[in-house]
Amino acid sequence: MARQMNALMKEDGITATEKEIDNVKAALQHLLHGIITEPLTDFVRDLTTEMGRLSFNWNKFIGKKQTIETTSLAIQRIARGNKTMNDTEMVLKKLLKRAQANLQYKPPAWELSRHYLRSLEGSIEDGKKEADETDDPSGPRKVEYTD
């Protein structure tokens, strides 16, 4: 492929034989199967991305087969998605460690706040009891105005 791409820059009309097209298809299918079924290292991810680009460009100017285009784009997207997922995993692990550390942190002010809220709750309950005891069972009083 690289030889044909270099020749294409010098002259027009480069074509691929059916055997070359079949070899590219087979290589891409093998690569696609490998990146789907095996974990990707950084080296393999970079290699598959570059192979996908090279095969896409080769196909655009020389091979001109839809299956090669589709497979090379799929390889590039899977490799890019794998990189994104690995980055996301690293960020989430860091966030998890920070969140766990934050859950362990209990400043003294929080304990004071809890005590204060409990005392308020007790005051509210006491106020409700007092209000219930002072309510007139006959109902609300009428207020008369005098001039």
Per-residue pLDDT tens over the stretch 39-94: 899 999 999 999 999 999 999 988 889 999 999 999 999 999 999 999 999 999 99
Is residue 49 within 8 Å of 89, Cβ to Cβ?
Answer: no
The pLDDT > 90 percentage for the chain reads: 50
- Distance from CA of residue 20 to its chain's centroid? 39
Q: Tell me if 11 is assigned to some domain.
A: yes
Q: Tell me if 71 is assigned to some domain.
A: yes
Count of the separate structural domains present in the chain = 1
Q: Tell me if 59 is assigned to some domain.
A: yes
Q: Tell me if 114 is assigned to some domain.
A: no
pLDDT tens digits, one per residue of 14-38: 788 899 999 999 999 999 999 999 9
Q: Which comes out higher in pLDDT, residue 104 or 59?
A: 59
Q: Tell me if 129 is assigned to some domain.
A: no
Res. 145 pLDDT band, cuts 50 70 90: low
Query: pTM of the prediction?
Result: 0.61
Is residue 80 within 8 Å of 88, Cβ to Cβ?
Answer: no
